């Protein structure tokens, strides 16, 4: 028997027997409503199927299903002892360039039933980029004619003003937990035309009544329960999705539950796509979670080929479980996928990703082109598009007036984002002085969760804010952010690592030329004016490689020089950026091709 992990991996909640509502035996519930049907707003728009050109995502032709790669549980008692299963064999590794080889270029993808299970979704429960991805991708999938539903926790601090027609949809959902069950209610509502189900547990653990989304000592237990509740809801409501798409460590147990429990109860035809947005947080915990969740064979799950963490004896890793048991695993850009697997950015999961390389790859995120549209953005002083890009300079003047910057011919270089060491803050600081001393203005908008970092930038603000060519705004203001995107000439993104990055995508949408370090999604979306291998009409910014002062200085100097000496070239960069499609159109097709691939396995 493996050793139990240290208690630092999380604290456990109370057992179901201590909860407010407990049911020791399974009872077939009554479906109170036809979930998701005829409950929408009267003004709900008809969703049209978009005629699109088939993109060419790369999907492995021989990726194996978890039915062959992962162990299965025998049908019968959910909490009983099960027969041991041999450790799955390791698939042959493949070249990273073939990780998403396209096998459906000439094949129509049929309409699918897709369920996303996620801990957050914009705008109702947003913490980071994960929320935007779920919001944007699900809409794109629905536009293409698929039936798409999202399952979320019912947090007490959600933005309920963005939910239309919230109503009780499924009353008697009993979710196995420890040696009993917890009673839950499932609510249905539309979030900007997206069909959403919200799970509310009735337990004194108050899993989702904490006034915040994350950051609790029992987060692992909270989301292990949510994942089990989501699967139980699919089972009891009679939903049989073709694809279950889950996200990050919070739902890493979903494919484990599917193949170890629910496959034998009617969900065996569903397939799982698992997207990892942040490898740093992996959901580490001890063996007591197995007792809570009904996964009763510790020697089975602690095996290093399943959930056993590779670097902490006696610890379970929920993200690793998601990788092992899913039919396909994605992260948010092709370059980041390689960096994580082959360049030491996997936070200990490199060997697991190498083992499962045939079913692993990167799909670049998109942005919502309706939400980020300079032609209709009401936050701007003047709306514009690629044909009227001259109006962009009305926003430049408005930005200078708002921030009390000097009105001159200098370019404005900006940085927007969370002030986090990941973002290359030393390079940001150095760039401020380099730009001001070399014929440019600089604007920064951002804040940090770390008090020491905020204090440092407040000190820097007090030191240089009197300079008429510089302004630092410590905090976040949506209206100001949009004006900066529209009013700046260049956007600096010098990240140390960047899984995908949204700042450069939004900047290009607004005709602001990105200056980026060639990592992750930045390398996949920004192509250097002078040195890129792509065609001239696809070059859209400036790129540097070294994480150094020299690297960022060189890129900025080239950009500033082009602005002054070759204004026509600079204008072409702006237009190239605006004409590039980084909407959800192409990623949506990539995911549909992956779905179609794995549903046949």
Q: Is the pLDDT of residue 184 over 90?
A: yes
User: Any idea what the Cα angle at residue 405 is, between residues 402 and 407, rounded to 5°?
Assistant: 105
- Of the chain, the percentage scoring pLDDT greater than 70 comes to 82
Q: Is the dihedral of CA 24, 26, 31, 35 positive or negative?
A: positive
Band of the pLDDT at 429, cuts 50, 70, 90? very high
Largest CA distance in the chain: 77
What confidence score (pLDDT) does residue 85 get?
33
What confidence score (pLDDT) does residue 13 get?
57
What confidence score (pLDDT) does residue 14 get?
54
Q: How many CB atoms lie within 10 A of CB 152?
A: 24
Average pLDDT of the segment spanning 33-59: 41
Task: Sort 259 into a burial class: Cβ within 10 Å, 0-12 / 13-18 / 19+.
Answer: buried
What confidence score (pLDDT) does residue 73 get?
36
Structure tokens at 231: 């699967």
Is it true that the peptide bond before 17 is cis, omega within 30 degrees of 0?
A: no
Cα–Cα distance, 419 to 412 (Å, whole number)? 20
Q: By the 8 A CB rule, do 360 and 94 touch?
A: no
- Helix 318-325 to helix 253-260 angle (10° resolution) is 50
Cα–Cα distance, 119 to 247 (Å, whole number)? 8
Q: How many CB atoms lie within 10 A of CB 434?
A: 19
Instruction: Give 125's DSSP letter.
Output: B
Band of the pLDDT at 41, cuts 50, 70, 90? very low
The answer to the question of whether 126 is labelled as a binding residue is: yes
What confidence score (pLDDT) does residue 152 get?
98
Q: Is the pLDDT of residue 101 over 60?
A: no
What confidence score (pLDDT) does residue 110 get?
79
Q: How far is CA 141 from the centre of its chain?
A: 16
Average pLDDT of the segment spanning 349-371: 96
Most confident of 38-42, 56-60, 159-163: 159-163
Band of the pLDDT at 480, cuts 50, 70, 90? very high
Query: pLDDT digits over 113-140, tens only?
Result: 999 999 999 999 999 889 999 999 999 9
- The larger pLDDT score, comparing residue 161 to residue 53, is at 161
Q: Is the pLDDT of residue 28 over 60?
A: no
What confidence score (pLDDT) does residue 601 get?
75
Picking from 74, 212, 519, the residue whose alpha carbon sits closest to that of residue 337 is 519
CA dist list (Å): 230 to 227, 301, 495: 5, 21, 36
Structure tokens at 98: 């073939």
- The larger pLDDT score, comparing residue 20 to residue 410, is at 410
Quote the radius of gyration of the chain (alpha carbons, Å): 25
Q: By the 8 A CB rule, do 522 and 495 touch?
A: yes
Q: Where are the alpha helices (DSSP H) in 326-407?
A: 334-342, 350-355, 392-403
Picking from 421, 466, 414, 483, the residue whose alpha carbon sits closest to that of residue 444 is 414
Q: Is the pLDDT of residue 38 over 80?
A: no
Band of the pLDDT at 15, cuts 50, 70, 90? low
Q: Is the pLDDT of residue 6 over 80?
A: no
- Of the chain, the percentage scoring pLDDT greater than 90 comes to 80
What H or E segment, with its residue span, contains residue 253?
helix 253-260
For 503, residues 6+ apart whose C-beta sits below 8 A from its C-beta are: 416, 417, 491, 493, 514
Parallel, antiparallel or unpaired: strands 164-177 and 180-191: antiparallel
Task: Sort 177 into a burial class: Cβ within 10 Å, 0-12 / 13-18 / 19+.
Answer: buried
Band of the pLDDT at 333, cuts 50, 70, 90? very high
Q: What is the pTM of this model?
A: 0.82
Could you give the domains of the chain?
A: 113-366+590-600 (3.40.50.2000), 389-581 (3.40.50.2000)
Cα–Cα distance, 105 to 269 (Å, whole number)? 24
What confidence score (pLDDT) does residue 16 get?
52
């Amino acid at each position: 028997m493996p050793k139990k992990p240290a208690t630092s991996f999380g604290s456990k909640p109370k057992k179901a027997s201590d909860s407010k509502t407990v049911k020791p035996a399974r009872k077939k519930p009554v479906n109170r409503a036809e979930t998701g049907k005829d409950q929408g707003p009267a003004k709900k728009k008809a969703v049209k199927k978009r005629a699109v050109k088939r993109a060419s995502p790369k999907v492995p032709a021989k990726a194996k299903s978890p039915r062959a790669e992962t162990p299965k549980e025998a049908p019968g008692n959910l909490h009983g002892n099960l027969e041991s299963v041999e450790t799955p064999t390791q698939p042959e590794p493949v070249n990273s360039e073939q990780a998403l080889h396209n096998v459906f270029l000439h094949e129509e993808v049929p309409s699918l039933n897709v369920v996303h299970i996620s801990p957050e979704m914009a705008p109702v429960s947003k913490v980071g980029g994960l929320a935007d991805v779920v919001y944007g991708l699900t809409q794109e999938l629905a536009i293409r004619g698929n039936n798409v539903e999202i399952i979320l926790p019912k947090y007490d601090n959600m933005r309920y003003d963005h939910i239309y027609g919230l109503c009780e949809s499924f009353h008697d959902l009993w979710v196995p937990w420890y040696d009993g069950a917890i009673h839950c209610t499932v609510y249905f509502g539309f979030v900007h035309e997206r069909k959403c189900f919200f799970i509310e547990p009735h337990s004194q653990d108050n899993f989702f009544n904490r006034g915040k989304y994350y950051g609790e000592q029992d987060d692992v237990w909270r989301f292990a329960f949510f994942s089990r509740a989501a699967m139980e809801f699919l089972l009891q409501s009679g939903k049989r999705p073709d694809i279950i798409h889950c996200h990050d460590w919070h739902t890493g147990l979903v494919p484990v539950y599917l193949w170890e429990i629910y496959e034998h109860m009617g969900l065996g035809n569903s397939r799982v796509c698992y997207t990892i947005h942040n490898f740093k947080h992996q959901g580490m915990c001890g063996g007591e979670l197995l007792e809570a969740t009904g996964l009763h064979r510790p020697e089975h799950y602690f095996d290093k080929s399943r959930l056993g963490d590779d670097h902490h004896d006696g610890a379970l890793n929920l993200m690793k479980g998601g990788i092992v048991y899913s039919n396909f695993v994605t992260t948010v850009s092709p370059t980041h996928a390689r960096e994580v697997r082959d360049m030491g950015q996997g936070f200990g999961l490199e060997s697991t990703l190498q083992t499962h390389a045939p079913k692993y790859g990167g799909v670049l995120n998109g942005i919502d082109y309706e939400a980020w549209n300079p032609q209709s953005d009401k936050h701007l002083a003047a709306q514009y598009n690629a044909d009227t890009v001259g109006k962009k300079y009305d926003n430049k003047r408005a930005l200078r007036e708002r921030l009390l910057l000097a009105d001159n011919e200098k370019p404005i270089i900006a940085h927007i984002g969370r002030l986090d060491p990941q973002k290359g803050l030393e390079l940001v600081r150095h760039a401020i002085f380099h730009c001001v001393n070399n014929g440019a203005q600089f604007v920064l908008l951002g804040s940090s969760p770390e008090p020491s970092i905020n204090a440092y930038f407040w000190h820097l603000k007090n030191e240089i804010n009197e300079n008429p060519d510089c302004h630092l705004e410590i905090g976040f203001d949506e209206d100001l952010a949009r004006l900066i995107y529209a009013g700046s000439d260049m956007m600096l993104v010098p990240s140390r690592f960047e899984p995908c990055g949204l700042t450069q995508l939004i900047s290009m949408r607004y005709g602001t030329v990105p200056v980026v370090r060639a990592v992750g999604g930045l390398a996949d979306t920004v192509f250097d004016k002078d040195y890129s291998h792509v065609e001239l009409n696809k070059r859209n910014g400036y790129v540097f490689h070294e994480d150094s002062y020299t690297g960022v200085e060189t890129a900025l100097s080239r950009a500033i020089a082009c602005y002054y000496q070759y204004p026509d070239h600079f204008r072409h960069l702006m237009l190239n950026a605006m004409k590039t499609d980084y909407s959800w159109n192409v990623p949506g097709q990539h995911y549909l091709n992956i779905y179609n691939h794995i549903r046949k396995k």
